[in-house]
Chain A
């Protein structure tokens, strides 16, 4: 049996090899044939899913909410200790020391990442800033967002927390975090299409068996998910989706 395995396009480029390694080790452990799909953009991902060609997805939490509630996808696992967090940072020389120092009309650089933008908007609320109050500067990479903040071309930049912490020491020394989220309960999720739901047990077993195993742990380390995957129940997914729902407005 062949399953199309799609990885959401928001992973760091250096993790690319890790996803291929995971695909290989999961095939070995499940006797399933997995065909890896790595769309370059959110639009490409949406098209692949809409075409009905995706069986297994490593989805960001916001897409997961839509896919579970509206398309019947089943959550089977999530990475342990890897919540989706974000950082709002400004240049080290900036006069701003907290989010509340940002003013209406401020410029904020961000990448095309819905999760980061939504959480960031919630973190701007203490400053009474809404989406319409900000001049958004869309950039291709987190490095570009960092450069703009460092040069003072924007008042702040939004980062996926992992991306922020992966910036070079030099870049971070020229930046000043205004706030970092600690939402804890919101993570990427592995989802299975309902037409192949009978494969859930096999895949959960294989994913949970990766941590500490000779062939699994190096893969997890390559993915930056050293603590491995934990099984996720339908209620775990529903709980997370309820949380997401509260953040949507």
Chain B
């Protein structure tokens, strides 16, 4: 699925070619600007079994820079930051597909190339014994946890040959 074009802000400092599990790709424009996590809020989304966004809350829309209409129907990897290692998402999907809860620190990419850090928890939505989709809820991470995740992801990306 082709993602909508990013609208890189003037402070974008690098371009990164991203290829996703569904074979699609995009050229991401990235800045080093971090947006603060919205105090006291949860950033919530739901996807179908294929990772297509079916619900986003107001906090999700506001921080992403996209409109709700631009997000619904798009794959969740619209937020994928090129600094995130593939291994993190492989772990996420393997955990969810095993019917378990996943936690992790995630650097998400905004429409304008800036980013925000979250502590994400994703759970399978079980209805009548069947998994029908996934809910992801993000909270504010500590600076210490972000620093640790940055270092770990840098190593993982190096190991992935990125």
Which residues of A approach B to under 8 Å, CB–CB? Answer: 100, 122-123, 125-128, 179-185, 235, 238-239, 242-243, 245-247, 249
Whole-angstrom CA separation of A239 from B42 in the bound complex: 14
B41 near A128 (CB under 8 angstroms)?
no
Q: Which of B17-25, B70-78, B120-128, B153-161 sits within the interface?
A: B120-128
B26 CB within 8 Å of chain A: no
Contact flag A125-B142 (CB < 8 Å), given A183-B41, A243-B42, A246-B121: yes
A165 to nearest B CB, angstroms? Answer: 14
A125 near B127 (CB under 8 angstroms)?
no
A182 near B101 (CB under 8 angstroms)?
no
A239 near B144 (CB under 8 angstroms)?
no
A242 near B40 (CB under 8 angstroms)?
no
Which residues of B approach A to under 8 Å, CB–CB? Answer: 37-42, 44, 46, 57-58, 101, 103, 119, 121-123, 125, 127, 135-137, 139-145
B44: chain A residues within 8 A (beta carbon): 185, 243
Name the CB-closest residue of B to A86.
Answer: B40
Name the CB-closest residue of B to A127.
Answer: B142
B136: chain A residues within 8 A (beta carbon): 246
Whole-angstrom CA separation of A100 from B141 in the bound complex: 11
A122 near B39 (CB under 8 angstroms)?
no
Total CB contacts across the A-B interface at under 8 A: 63
Known: A125-B119, A127-B142, A179-B39. 16 other contacts (CB 8 A): A128-B142, A181-B40, A182-B38, A182-B40, A183-B41, A184-B42, A185-B42, A238-B125, A242-B125, A243-B135, A243-B137, A245-B123, A246-B122, A246-B136, A249-B103, A249-B121
Contact flag A125-B144 (CB < 8 Å), given A184-B57, A245-B123: no
A247: chain B residues within 8 A (beta carbon): 121, 137
A142 to nearest B CB, angstroms? Answer: 18
* From A123, A182, A246, contact of B123 by CB (8 A): A246
B139 near A125 (CB under 8 angstroms)?
yes
B135 to nearest A CB, angstroms? Answer: 4
A243: chain B residues within 8 A (beta carbon): 42, 44, 135, 137
B123: chain A residues within 8 A (beta carbon): 242, 245-246
A179 near B119 (CB under 8 angstroms)?
no
A158 to nearest B CB, angstroms? Answer: 13
